[in-house]
Amino acid sequence: MAGLTHIAIDGPAGSGKTTVARALAKRLGILYLDTGAMYRAVALAALEDGVPVDDEAAIVRLARSKPVGVVPDPAAPEGSRIYLGEREIGAELYRNQVSTIVSVVAAYPAIRELMVERQREIARTAPVVMAGRDIGTVVLPEASVKIFLTASVEARVERRLAELAAEGAHVDRLELRTQMVERDHLDANRSISPLKPAADAIQIDSTELSVDEVVERVAAAVRSAAAG
């Protein structure tokens, strides 16, 4: 994969990584991929088919029989069109029920293997800004620039509430906070590919920064990496 620009942006929910990754990819004129959408697709399939989320073997069977398809498309909000089997999916990925169970699904090693394989396949063919939890550590360890984006829990809750309100959804602040902290805990403490900064990641705390300011800092890191 050497020679292609790969930018890894990792961080917890609400840290702004998807917004920043999307804006950066647009600025650089390269592909963007939100890998969280792929894990969400598996969780959605489990909900739709009534597969219990704690039945690991059944979840893995389901992911094999209804594979998550990813077709790069700069016009799509996740940077790609996401399919479950033959069916394209979109806003359903962000349903509250999906958010509640997705961390459990994402902790299963065989599920991660399937998703990581597809993510690397995409990176082999094109320069990409990839957002997730394990991009700098596992998926693209040789990425030219690795960013680990954080923000206070309060800031992350407020951002997510604003996003949901913009979609016309109103969620209880305390409930959202509890869910976010729980998800962070599961993501950071799972045995495989836990959420953590790569040793060579640049850490940015976005609590007090605007999206533009974060994008500018990341773009500066990309310029300096390109200058060698």
CB of 227 to ligand DC, least distance (A): 28
Q: What is the residue type of 118?
A: R
Q: Is 106 in the site for ligand DC (CB under 6 A)?
A: yes
Among 6, 22, 40, 66, binds ligand DC (CB under 6 A): 40
Phi, psi of 51 (to 5 degrees): -90, 125
CB of 84 to ligand DC, least distance (A): 15
Separation CA 43–CA 185 (nearest Å) = 18
Q: Is 159 in the site for ligand DC (CB under 6 A)?
A: no
Please name every residue paired with 145 in a beta bridge, in sequence order, or none if there are none: 7
Q: Whose Cβ is closer to ligand DC: residue 180's or residue 202's?
A: 180
Pick the piece of the chain touching ligand DC (CB under 6 A) from 127-135, 162-170, 172-180, 202-210.
Answer: 127-135
Task: Identify the burial level of 7 via C-beta atoms within 10 angstroms of its C-beta, where 0-12 means exposed, 13-18 middle and 19 or more buried.
Answer: buried
CB of 18 to ligand DC, least distance (A): 7
Which string of x and - marks every residue 179-208 that binds ligand DC (by CB under 6 A)?
----x---x---------------------
Q: Whose Cβ is closer to ligand DC: residue 22's or residue 133's?
A: 133
Pick the piece of the chain touching ligand DC (CB under 6 A) from 33-41, 51-59, 148-156, 208-216.
Answer: 33-41
Separation CA 223–CA 228 (nearest Å) = 9
Instruction: Report the chain's C-alpha Rg in angstroms.
Output: 17
Assigned token pair, 151: 């923000």
Phi, psi of 35 (to 5 degrees): -70, -20
Q: Is 114 in the site for ligand DC (CB under 6 A)?
A: no
Contact 54, 104 (CB under 8 A): yes
* Residues binding ligand DC (CB under 6 A): 13, 35-36, 39-40, 102-103, 106, 132-135, 183, 187
